[in-house]
Amino acid sequence: MMAAKKIKKRAAAGFNPYPMELSPVFREKIWAGRALSRIYSGARPYKTGEALFAPDTGGEGSVILNGAHKGRDFIQLVRRHGAAMLGRGMAAAHNGVFPVLVKVIDCGEKLSVQVHPDDKAAKKAGLKSGKTEFWYILGAEKKSWLLLGFKRRISSGEAAKLAEAGFITAVLKRCNTKKGEGYFVPAGTVHSLGPSNLVLEIQQNSDVTYRLYDWGREKSSPDRRPDIASAIGAVKAITAGRRIAAAKKKGTFIRSMASCEFFRVKEAVLKKGGVIQMDKTPPLMVFAAEAGASLLWQGGNMALKKGAVVFVPAAPGRFSIKSRTGTRLIITELR
C-alpha cells in the first residue's frame, strides 16, 4: 500500500503541463442560428446554439486535442493535477473545480430575459456557485441588440408584476451591439441577447439561470416556463453591468476589458507579423477570435484556428503569440 502511494506521488510530481487545446461541447437551442456550423465541425445549423469549453457542471466535458495528454478528459486532468495546472493556491481555493467556462453563443433569435444569482444566493439555494459573466461581441448586424440591467431603480414587487404580465423588457436598458464591444454582466443583472449576435461568453463555471420572460415561447414549450420567484430573489436593483467600446487603436496591443474577483479579460490585437510575449502568468484561457496566430512555448508550438480555445497552465515559462496575417485573441486570466 505504501509503495503504491509513493508511485502515485512520483507520477503526480512528474506531471508537466503545457498549453492544451480543448474540444467544444455542443448544446442545441431553440434560438440557434447557423454561425457555429461555419466555425466548428460537428455543429448543426439552426440547431447548435452554444459551444462550451471546459464545462465543469456534470455531463459531457472537453477533451484535450494536442500533446502528451491528447484524448484525455480535461476536467478529470484538472481534478488529478490541479496544483500543477492552476497553481497550488488557486487549486486549493476552488477545491478541484475548474473556475471558468468559455462559451460561444450563436443567437439566431432572441434569448430569454434572465438573471443569474451571485455566490451567496446560489449557495443558499444549495448550488456550488453563482454566475458572473462577460460578453465579447464576435459578430453583429446593423440592428442587433441586447438588454442589460434596469433603466431605473425598481422594487422586487414591481419587477415581479412586470415579469408576470410580460412587460419586464419595458424597464430594461437596450444597447445596439457592434463587433469588438464587450459587456460586463455581474450576477444579479437582468439581461437578454437579441438576434443576429455571435457572442463569446466568459463566465463562472455554473449552469444556473432563472428566466423572467421568454417572448411567448413558454406557451408552446412548458420546459421554458419562467421561474419568476427564484429570478426576483436573485435580482439586484442596481448592478455594475457596463459596456466596453470596441477598440479604435491600430497596430499590435493588449487592452484590459473587464476585471472582477473571478476572472480578468483582455483583448489582444496583432497586426501582420506582430508578436506578444508573456511570462509568469496565472493560468489562462486563450480564444482565437480570428485565425492567423501561433502560440509558441518552450518545447512546442500551435497554430490557432478561428474559434480555438487553449488552456495555458500557470507559470509555464515564457511563451509568445505571433501573427502571420493579423488577428484578435481574447485572453482570460483565471482567479
Do the two domains 16-244 and 253-334 of this chain adopt the same fold? yes
For residues 183-203, give the mean pLDDT.
Answer: 98
Residues with Cβ within 8 Å of 133's Cβ and at least 6 positions away in sequence, in order, are 116, 185, 201, 202, 203, 204
Per-residue pLDDT at 13? 56
To 10 degrees, what angle do helices 74-86 and 2-13 make? Answer: 80
Cell output for 109: 433569435
pTM equals 0.93
Dist. CA 267–CA 180, nearest whole Å: 9
Per-residue pLDDT at 157? 94
Among 65-69, 99-103, 316-320, the range scoring the smallest mean pLDDT is 316-320
Order across the sheet with 20-21: list the strands. Answer: 20-21, 309-312, 284-288, 327-334, 263-270, 253-259
Order across the sheet with 182-185: list the strands. Answer: 25-28, 48-53, 100-107, 197-204, 133-140, 182-185, 242-244
Looking at domain 16-244, its CATH superfamily turns out to be Jelly Rolls (2.60.120.10)
Dist. CA 210–CA 226, nearest whole Å: 7
Cβ proximity of 174 and 147 under 8 Å: yes
Which of 51, 56, 63, 61 lies closest to 23 in space, CA to CA? 63
Cβ proximity of 136 and 177 under 8 Å: no
Order across the sheet with 145-150: list the strands. Answer: 172-176, 145-150, 191-193, 113-115, 210-213
Dist. CA 293–CA 93, nearest whole Å: 33
Q: What is the per-residue pLDDT across 306-319, written as a single tens digit (0 to 9) for each?
A: 999 999 999 767 89
> Per-residue pLDDT for 6 more than 50?
no
The helix/strand/coil state of 205 is: coil
> Per-residue pLDDT for 2 more than 80?
no
Per-residue pLDDT at 219? 80
For residues 258-267, give the mean pLDDT.
Answer: 98
Among 177-181, 209-213, 233-237, 291-295, the range scoring the smallest mean pLDDT is 233-237
Amino acid at 106: D
Q: pLDDT averaged over the chain?
A: 93
> Per-residue pLDDT for 1 more than 50?
no
Among 177-186, 216-225, 256-265, the range scoring the smallest mean pLDDT is 216-225
For residues 14-34, give the mean pLDDT.
Answer: 95
Domain boundaries, the chain: 16-244, 253-334
- Please pick, among 27, 34, 38, 211, the residue that the annotation labels catalytic: 211
> Per-residue pLDDT for 110 more than 70?
yes
CA 198, distance to chain mean position in Å, is: 13
Dist. CA 270–CA 275, nearest whole Å: 7
Per-residue pLDDT at 299? 85
Architecture of the domain whose range is 253-334: Sandwich (2.60)
174 given a catalytic annotation: no
Which of 47, 85, 78, 80 lies closest to 63 in space, CA to CA? 78
Cell output for 316: 509555464
Cβ proximity of 58 and 38 under 8 Å: no
